[in-house]
Amino acid sequence: MKNIFTHQTTTIKRFENRYVKTKNYIMPELKLKQMQYEINTWLRLLGFMLDENVHSKNRLTEILKYKFDEALLEDMENFQTRFIKEDADIAILKKEVTALDSLLVREVFEDGAIIKAVRNKLKKVQTDMNNAEKQFSKLKNDFRSYLDVNIYKNEE
């Protein structure tokens, strides 16, 4: 009877020898799936942020249609500018995330160079996404607070 552990050890050594000879690195499936999951999450989040930004711009337009204190017009224009900038930032982030996704499509990373590029890109995108979420939340809260203060002030 053949020892199963000897067979597994031999198979692992063959794989290790092939790895050394070819100098290719195959990303472990679990790590690859986690990165793909994170990328899909970011793409959904960016889609949500874009939708919310459109909603905020539509709200701003609705408010301006009604009798509104013209002294506040400059502030409203500033919010409009910030919303437009947010759209541009989201588009840039979407390109970054898509570029990272295209790197992951390649499962074999030659000489470890591409794997290092993926790790660096992943860290950069994680940082950029965290900053974008904070910036987006701040803009959304600033706009809501501004409207709360100024719309209710006009009712008094």
Taking Cα atoms as reference points, which of 104, 80, 78, 88 lies closest to residue 46?
88
Confidence label for 18 from pLDDT (cuts 50, 70 and 90):
very low
pLDDT the model gives residue 19: 42
Which is more confidently placed, 39 or 29? Answer: 39
pTM check: above 0.85: no
Q: Is 10 a residue whose pLDDT tops 50?
A: no
Helix (H) or strand (E) holding 38: helix 29-65
Structure tokens at 9: 């050890």
Q: Is 141 a residue whose pLDDT tops 60?
A: yes
